[in-house]
Amino acid sequence: MSLERATDLLACPVCQGRLALYGKVICCTEGHSYDVAKQGYVNLLGASEPGNADTSEMLDARARVHAAGVFNQVTEAIATSCGGRQRVLEAGAGTGHYLASALGTDPQALGVAIDVSKASAKHCVRTDERIAAIVADVWQPLPLRDRSLDAVLAVFAPRNLPEFARVLHSDGRFIAVTPRSGHLVGLRDAYGLLDIPSAKATQLAAAAAEFFDLIDTRVIKYRVPVDEQLATDLIAMGPNAFHQQPKQVTASVISIDVTVQSFRPIRD
């Protein structure tokens, strides 16, 4: 069970003590305990799920898009940047697709998926048996021990930079994927989707400079044809799902346009 293997990496969200798994309960030495859901994930959120948490429908749409290979080149770039590291966290993990790829083929590799969505946690435990799924808020102190991880992924996801630096060991990697202005431009223009702020990668590099050295930047840009169902799923899988959905979507050729950045933590 991946959750049992992951307890060596986890910290109690209340007292930061070590956690251990006892049957269907995770406990710390101070007596704080957390029930393991029947699906195999643990909820360390300590609050109600927020209204903007990914829904099952959003995640199902995202899974179909990944299964169709729309983001394959992005997935491959993340795995290459991860470089075979064994203990990997994905923040805002969604379905766990990118995390599973980053773990490669090593049966001993271990992934920790953190997302504020219970539906995400359920997806992640199904995606790969090496993934331990945790419901938690990426913007809060992460329920992980200091310098316990080899890599942290944030793929179109929130980035808690000081916490990412804390949980990575000295030669760890923080790998971020951010959209560029041309990302999904055909869909965004045709259906009035949410805009993408310019220079996101430059802004991230500036914000990260306090905690990380930027060691690699690559742009992934290509076009891919999608049918009506995939185009609909691309709209439904992200934050546009919380807004009015177009009644009819047509097949088109879309642009994938992202930046993949790799950072190393700064140590005194």
What is the set of domains in the chain, with CATH numbers? 41-265 (3.40.50.150)
Beta bridge partners, 112, equal: 89, 132
Highest mean pLDDT among 148-157, 187-196, 236-245: 148-157
Per residue in 15-43, pLDDT (tens digit) is 999 999 999 999 999 999 999 999 999 99
**Higher-confidence position of 132 and 198:** 132
**Residue 192 pLDDT:** 72
**Residue 244 pLDDT:** 66
d(CA 247, CA 226) in angstroms, rounded, equals 17
Residue 196 has pLDDT above 90, yes or no: no
Averaged pLDDT, 128-148: 97
CA-closest candidate to residue 249, choices 231, 236, 237: 231
d(CA 104, CA 16) in angstroms, rounded, equals 30
Per residue in 73-132, pLDDT (tens digit) is 999 999 999 998 999 999 999 999 999 999 999 999 999 999 999 999 999 999 999 999
Residue 1 has pLDDT above 70, yes or no: no
CA-closest candidate to residue 179, choices 159, 156, 202: 156
Residue 189 has pLDDT above 80, yes or no: no
Per residue in 38-86, pLDDT (tens digit) is 999 999 998 899 988 999 999 999 999 999 999 999 999 999 999 989 9
Q: What is the DSSP string of 60-85?
A: HHHHHHHHTTTTHHHHHHHHHHHTT-
**What percent of the chain has pLDDT above 90?**
82
Residue with tokens 């950045």: 261
Residue 261 has pLDDT above 70, yes or no: yes
